[in-house]
Amino acid sequence: MYSSFLIKYAEIGIKGKNRYLFENALVQQIKYACKRCEGDFEVRKAEGRIYVDAVSDFDYDELIDNLKTVFGISGICPMIQIEDNSFDNLCSVIVDYFDREYPDKNKTFKVFARRSRKSYPKNSMELNADIGEVLLNAFPELKVDVHDPDICLYVEVREKTYVYSQIIPGPGGMPVGTNGKAMLLLSGGIDSPVAGYMISKRGVKIDAVYFHAPPYTSDRAKQKVIDLARQVSKYSGPIYLHVINFTDIQLAIYEKCPHDELTIIMRRYMMRIAQSIAEETECLGLITGESIGQVASQTMHSLACTNEVCTMPVYRPCIGMDKQEIISISEKIGTYETSILPFEDCCTIFVAKHPVTKPNLSIIKRHEHNLDEVIDDLVKTALDTKETIIVKIEK
Amino acid sequence: MECYFDNSATTRVHPEVADTIHKVMLDEYGNPSSMHKKGMEAEMIVRNARETIASTLKVDDRCILFTSGGTESDNMALIGCADAYKRSGKHIITTKIEHPAILNTCKYLEENGYEVTYLGVDKNGLVDLSELENSIREDTTIVSIMHTNNEIGAVEPIEKAGEAIKRKNPSTLFHVDAVQGYGKWRILPSKQNIDLLSVSSHKIHGPKGIGFLYIGNGVKINPIIHGGGQQKNLRSGTENVPGIAGMAKACELIYSDLDNANDHLYTMKQRLIEGLDDIEDIKINGLTGRESAPHILSVSFGLVRSEVLLHALEDKGIYVSAGSACASNKPAVSETLKAIGVEKRMLESTIRFSLCKDNTMEQIDYCLEVLHDTLPMLRRFTRH
């Protein structure tokens, strides 16, 4: 029924001279989203707005679902385009549209007309009043409410005239690719995919690193992480997923360091390795799913110890969130179901019964020296043998 | 060397079975219910398969009902008969070590007003016949006991159980889940007082998604799947003709060489047991001689989590399962192991080796070698 869509974007509108960079990135991302849908589409930037026009048969729901994954879109408005300039014709189209869209007429409404094309015979105020009158005449049950209407009918007179009243919310944020790249530490849990999603939402392209520990973690656990990355890539675009074999490092820590510090020391090495891949791949920061106090390794003390090895900024978008808040986002973005599959990840296999919750950095550092003889080689081997998988949505 | 020791989870399809299926798919592709020649051809395939299968049990071919496998056969037997006999009684007896296809069907029946008694087992996984006899009541309609346990290879005293049931209450039906027993033993329902018998094809080198339920003459049973009325209205749905043909071929092949195959299996099992002897802190669960299943060996390895050992063996090309892999890949503690009283620390340290006739002594020796190499390394790193 609709073949044209007005794309509303939020924050890009307030950018200054580089606004066009953001708009062009958004157009590009919308084009990618359209490519995943059946049918042909034209995406155009005109008069400070973005329009998507279907130029062949297409699946409405599929298009909307895909547009909803494009960061930078705040709203998608299915609209009617009218080329004929006469006011009478405009009114008859609006009456039809209204009748079809709102079978129940017992509603209040307000017309928001905007005349950008100044050659049009009626100005905005006149359009508001006249269209309102036509609608009231056509549907006597309708009422006008200019303060809190049920229906806001937008009529925009530009090159063509556009009519819409529905705004389907988009994900918000900024188009991917407008804000550099960061490296996500992706486990199989609930938090890290959410963290990746949240940073990506700010326009950041993401790559990811996963620590695999065979035979302690299985190929199914690895596949689970690939599936999570794929789900995040619906929003973020293709993700380079680096899989690091972490077993030998973990075993060395297990043998040479106190068990209650194992997780902290292990996480320090994960950060070091992630950072070294990040530097090599031009990432500007690390992303983790940590949240203060969630587990022993995420207390303020533990975070301070883990963070100490990083020279790059570490972004932790879940840091102040409760578990339930994180779960809500994971459900919304479709990673929850996969995250809760019961496979062991490398953080839990050797976890001590009572890990330290207030680690002391100088003690941790002293114990890390126990690894001096072997650790450089082990880290180098882990980096040299990393497997890189390009994860993206097919089609 | 690749060693597939997970034959109780599923088996490789026999090449002759694959050929049969391939041929039926391309040639006899008709619907057995169609009235024309193509339908007739397909119907003949089904009919011949029924005869072949019936002859392995020495029963009337009209007693064979094709299903989608062991789970459906178990569901059909319990739900179908519980429903058909609900006026005679609503009491069912089974054991604590049944496959989830039985246990969860019983749970479903309990939620629907039936009463279920779960018999315990001894340390070898065997039911106590006097406990069985004492549990049978006037209103007991079905007793369901598995033939061979899938996790520890315990072989239940089916013949004696059948006698006990009929002695106590001749109208009580006896259902046997023979998914792990069929193809390893000669089972004769009419001589062993078995009224219903569940069998799955993919455990005996046949295809997945097909199985059968033997239903004795005179047993009343209601359908659980409704539709076009195929198979005398007991199991609607177009017959899986290639699957049926493949299963029949698999049944024929497995029974044509049963004794030799079993000798070979017992020899391999014995070698495995002997080879494990010098490994410290292990326990073999259940019986191990000719009175146990020829193909299943359950071993608990202290201080190693079964999942880790499984993946370590996998890395060397050896495929086993942790407890029972059949139900799902969810790591849950095994009810069977709990029921036979396996120590708590061993519950999550148990591996099942399940063999088939295609396995070789060389594979057994290789597996033992790998275990001797791997276990000390794995035991150095344990969770605290």
Distance (Å) from the C-alpha of residue B338 to the closest C-alpha of chain A? 21
Q: Based on the domain organization, do B248 and B278 belong to the same domain?
A: no
DSSP letter (8 states) at residue B381: S
Q: Note the pLDDT of residue B293.
A: 97
Instruction: Say if A93 is an interface residue toward chain B (CB within 8 Å).
Output: no
**Residue B324 — very low, low, confident or very high, per pLDDT cuts 50/70/90?**
very low
Range from A94-103, B95-104, B326-335 carrying the lowest mean pLDDT = B326-335
Distance (Å) from the C-alpha of residue A218 to the closest C-alpha of chain B? 7
Q: Which residues of B are catalytic?
A: 326
With beta carbons less than 8 A apart as the criterion, state whether B283 and B346 touch. yes
Q: pTM for this one?
A: 0.86
Instruction: Say if A216 is an interface residue toward chain B (CB within 8 Å).
Output: yes
Percent residues over pLDDT 90 in chain B: 92
Q: Based on the domain organization, do A134 and A194 belong to the same domain?
A: no
Distance (Å) from the C-alpha of residue A215 to the closest C-alpha of chain B? 5
Residues of chain A contacting B331 with CB distance shorter than 8 Å? 342
CA B360 distance to own-chain centroid: 23
DSSP SS3 for B283: strand
- The kind and range of the H/E element at B196 are strand B196-200
Q: Based on the domain organization, do A162 and A186 belong to the same domain?
A: no
Helix axes of B241-256 and B15-26: crossing angle, nearest 10 degrees: 150
Mean pLDDT computed over A189-209: 96
CA–CA gap between residue A311 and residue A285 (Å, rounded): 9
Q: Based on the domain organization, do B220 and B341 belong to the same domain?
A: no
**Interior/surface letters B148-175, b for 16+ CB within 10 angstroms, e for the rest:** bbbbbbbbbbbeebbbbbeebbeebbbb
Q: What is the CATH number of the domain that holds A42?
A: 3.30.2130.30
**Three state DSSP letters for chain A:** CCCEEEEEECHHHHCCCCHHHHHHHHHHHHHHHHHCCCCCEEEEEECCEEEEEECCCCCHHHHHHHHCCCCCEEEEEEEEEECCCCHHHHHHHHHHHHHHHCCCCCCEEEEEEEECCCCCCCCHHHHHHHHHHHHHHHCCCCEECCCCCCEEEEEEECCCEEEECCCEECCCCECCCCCCEEEEECCCCCHHHHHHHHHHCECCEEEEEEEECCCCCCHHHHHHHHHHHHHHHHHHCCEEEEEEECHHHHHHHHHHCCHHHHHHHHHHHHHHHHHHHHHHCCCCCEECCCCCCCCHHHCHHHHHHHHCCCCCCEECCCCCCCHHHHHHHHHHHCCHHHHCCCCCCCCCCCCCCCCCCCCCHHHHHHHHHHHHHHHHHHHHHHHHCCEEEEECCCC
Q: Note the pLDDT of residue A119.
A: 87
The answer on pLDDT for A305 being more than 80 is: yes
The answer on pLDDT for B47 being more than 60 is: yes
Indicate the residue among A169, A200, A215 that finishes a domain: A169
Instruction: Say if A340 is an interface residue toward chain B (CB within 8 Å).
Output: no
Q: What is the CATH number of the domain that holds A201?
A: 3.40.50.620
Instruction: Say if B307 is an interface residue toward chain A (CB within 8 Å).
Output: yes
Instruction: Say if A349 is an interface residue toward chain B (CB within 8 Å).
Output: yes
Percent residues over pLDDT 70 in chain A: 97
Residues of chain A contacting B321 with CB distance shorter than 8 Å? none
- Quick check: bond before A215 cis, omega within 30? yes
Distance (Å) from the C-alpha of residue B373 to the closest C-alpha of chain A? 15
CA–CA gap between residue A252 and residue B353 (Å, rounded): 31
Q: Based on the domain organization, do A305 and A215 belong to the same domain?
A: yes
Q: Note the pLDDT of residue A346.
A: 59
**Residue A217 — very low, low, confident or very high, per pLDDT cuts 50/70/90?**
confident
Q: Note the pLDDT of residue A395.
A: 62
CB contacts under 8 A, B 312-341 vs A, are 312, 314-315, 329-331
The answer on pLDDT for A391 being more than 80 is: yes
**Residue B76 — very low, low, confident or very high, per pLDDT cuts 50/70/90?**
very high
Q: What is the pLDDT of residues B191-215, one digit of tens each?
A: 999 999 999 999 999 999 999 999 9
**Residue A154 — very low, low, confident or very high, per pLDDT cuts 50/70/90?**
very high
Q: Which amino acid is at B245?
A: A
Residues of chain A contacting B310 with CB distance shorter than 8 Å? 215
Q: If you count them, how many residues does chain B have? A: 384
Long-range contacts of A325-332 (CB under 8 A, 24+ apart): A326/A190, A326/A191, A326/A194, A326/A289, A326/A291, A327/A190, A329/A194, A329/A197, A329/A198, A330/A190, A330/A193, A330/A194
**Pairing between β-strand B173-177 and β-strand B115-119 as defined by DSSP bridges:** unpaired
Instruction: Say if B373 is an interface residue toward chain A (CB within 8 Å).
Output: no
Distance (Å) from the C-alpha of residue B312 to the closest C-alpha of chain A? 5
| Domain of A110, in residue numbers | 4-169
Indicate the residue among B199, B234, B256 that finishes a domain: B256
| Domain of B247, in residue numbers | 15-256
Count of structural domains within chain B = 2
Q: Based on the domain organization, do B205 and B274 belong to the same domain?
A: no
Taking CA atoms, what residue in B is nearest to A253? B381
Q: Based on the domain organization, do B168 and B304 belong to the same domain?
A: no
The answer on pLDDT for B262 being more than 90 is: yes
Half-sphere exposure (Cβ direction) of A105: Cα atoms closer than 13 Å: 15
Q: What is the mean pLDDT of chain B?
A: 95
Confirm whether A9 is domain-assigned.
yes
Q: What is the pLDDT of residues B117-159, one digit of tens each?
A: 999 999 999 999 999 999 999 999 999 999 999 999 999 999 9
From first CA to last CA, the distance across chain A in angstroms is 25
Of residues A45 and B22, more confidence is placed in B22
B330 to A214: CB separation less than 8 angstroms, yes or no: no
**Three state DSSP letters for B320-369:** CEECCCCCCCCCCCCHHHHHCCCCHHHHCCEEEEECCCCCCHHHHHHHHH
Q: How many CB pairs under 8 A join A and B?
A: 31
Q: Note the pLDDT of residue B384.
A: 53
B384 to A251: CB separation less than 8 angstroms, yes or no: no
Count of structural domains within chain A = 2
Indicate the residue among A139, A169, A199 that finishes a domain: A169
The answer on pLDDT for B330 being more than 60 is: no
Mean pLDDT computed over B262-271: 98
CA–CA gap between residue A224 and residue A217 (Å, rounded): 11
**Pairing between β-strand B296-301 and β-strand B350-354 as defined by DSSP bridges:** antiparallel
Confirm whether A176 is domain-assigned.
no
Distance (Å) from the C-alpha of residue A367 to the closest C-alpha of chain B? 19
With beta carbons less than 8 A apart as the criterion, state whether A221 and A188 touch. yes
Q: Based on the domain organization, do A134 and A216 belong to the same domain?
A: no
In whole angstroms, how far apart are CA A319 and each of A299, A326, A360, B93, B314?
A: 11, 10, 21, 54, 39
CB contacts under 8 A, B 78-97 vs A, are none
With beta carbons less than 8 A apart as the criterion, state whether B31 and B22 touch. no
Distance (Å) from the C-alpha of residue A308 to the closest C-alpha of chain B? 27
With beta carbons less than 8 A apart as the criterion, state whether B272 and B367 touch. yes
Q: Note the pLDDT of residue B381.
A: 81
**CB nearest B312 (choices: A215, A342, A353):** A215
A342 to B384: CB separation less than 8 angstroms, yes or no: no
Q: Based on the domain organization, do B31 and B162 belong to the same domain?
A: yes
CA–CA gap between residue A295 and residue A355 (Å, rounded): 10
Q: Based on the domain organization, do B44 and B131 belong to the same domain?
A: yes
Residues of chain A contacting B320 with CB distance shorter than 8 Å? none
Q: Based on the domain organization, do B293 and B214 belong to the same domain?
A: no
Q: Based on the domain organization, do A242 and A156 belong to the same domain?
A: no
Q: Note the pLDDT of residue B325.
A: 44
Range from A76-80, A118-122, B299-303 carrying the lowest mean pLDDT = A118-122
Q: Based on the domain organization, do A133 and A190 belong to the same domain?
A: no
Q: What is the mean pLDDT of chain A?
A: 92
**Pairing between β-strand A168-169 and β-strand A73-82 as defined by DSSP bridges:** antiparallel
CA A295 distance to own-chain centroid: 26
Q: Based on the domain organization, do A199 and A104 belong to the same domain?
A: no
Q: Based on the domain organization, do A195 and A336 belong to the same domain?
A: yes
**Residue A342 — very low, low, confident or very high, per pLDDT cuts 50/70/90?**
confident
With beta carbons less than 8 A apart as the criterion, state whether B208 and B201 touch. yes
Instruction: Say if A272 is an interface residue toward chain B (CB within 8 Å).
Output: no
Instruction: Say if A218 is an interface residue toward chain B (CB within 8 Å).
Output: yes
Of residues B64 and A353, more confidence is placed in B64
Q: Based on the domain organization, do B238 and B123 belong to the same domain?
A: yes
Q: Based on the domain organization, do B262 and B252 belong to the same domain?
A: no
Instruction: Say if B187 is an interface residue toward chain A (CB within 8 Å).
Output: no
Taking CA atoms, what residue in B is nearest to A250? B381
Complex-level ipTM: 0.79
DSSP SS3 for B265: helix
B383 to A351: CB separation less than 8 angstroms, yes or no: yes
A259 to B384: CB separation less than 8 angstroms, yes or no: yes
Taking CA atoms, what residue in B is nearest to A218? B311
Q: What is the CATH number of the domain that holds B83?
A: 3.40.640.10
The answer on pLDDT for B326 being more than 50 is: no
Of residues A145 and A345, more confidence is placed in A145
Q: Which amino acid is at B246?
A: G
Q: Based on the domain organization, do A80 and A32 belong to the same domain?
A: yes
Kindly write down the DSSP assignment for every residue of B33-95, as one continuous string.
Answer: T-SSHHHHHHHHHHHHHHHHHHHHHTS-GGGEEEESSHHHHHHIIIIIHHHHTTTT--EEEEE
Interface test mutation site (partner A, options B321, B330, B383, max chain A beta carbons within 10 A): B383
Mean pLDDT computed over A261-285: 96
With beta carbons less than 8 A apart as the criterion, state whether B226 and B199 touch. no
Instruction: Say if A215 is an interface residue toward chain B (CB within 8 Å).
Output: yes
